[in-house]
Chains A and B, each alone.
Chain A
Amino acid sequence: ETGVTQSPTHLIKTRGQQVTLRCSSQSGHNTVSWYQQALGQGPQFIFQYYREEENGRGNFPPRFSGLQFPNYSSELNVNALELDDSALYLCASTPTWTATQHGYTFGSGTRLTVV
């Protein structure tokens, strides 16, 4: 089975621009979540999607938005980029969000640099 795939792997954007990051979830996983990991920090939860609906959101402003598609792949969109948005963005999928024994399978991340 394939794991979680994220694209692109690296990205450089200018402050004020918009960016879209993509994630293909692991086969059979209907729940996708996104995390922001600043340098030297642990991942911070951005939001989660279950069957195309957002079902959880962390402490991130509305300029962070997302989508989940019928095949459970997902996008993270960030508008009006700020320098502090520079981070590693991780996507993770899990078979279901209702059972705590299921961990998340993570992708390798997209490293975003805002200049």
Chain B
Amino acid sequence: AQKITQTQPGMFVQEKEAVTLDCTYDTSDPSYGLFWYKQPSSGEMIFLIYQGSYDQQNATEGRYSLNFQKARKSANLVISASQLGDSAMYFCAMRGDQFYFGTGTSLTVIP
């Protein structure tokens, strides 16, 4: 069975600081994709970053980077230089035969 686990229901970070959101996954498939999405209060899921299971380098997209540790089956999202607009729900997801989502982490950026 494939599963995504996010153990941090809520996180707080000071503006301009970095924050790490945790994600672990479970799959027996050798080929899979890991994604992070941001969901503001409007409801739309906004794609942030992708990491393929065979990628050797950690993915980066602007202020977002993914700390991929394959042996530990973790795919943590690092947001650098947090901004007030980063306050939202963040979901880790894995693509296998379907899209599996974690339960999400609510991030609040404090001025």
Contacts and interface: CB of A to CB of B under 8 A. Distances in A.
The finding on whether chains A and B are genuine partners in a shared complex, rather than unrelated, reads yes
Contact of A42 (B31, B43, B46, B102): B102
B99 interface: yes
Interface stretch (A16-24, A71-79, A96-104): A96-104
A45 B42 contact: no
A41 interface: yes
A92 B52 contact: no
Interface residues of A, number: 24
B91 interface: yes
A106 interface: yes
Contact of B98 (A33, A103, A106, A108): A33
Contacts of A95: none
Contact of A45 (B35, B46, B53, B98): B98
Interface of B: 4, 6, 31-33, 35, 37, 42-47, 50, 52-53, 91, 95-104
13 contacts: A41-B104, A43-B91, A43-B101, A45-B98, A48-B98, A88-B43, A100-B96, A101-B33, A103-B50, A104-B45, A106-B44, A106-B45, A107-B44
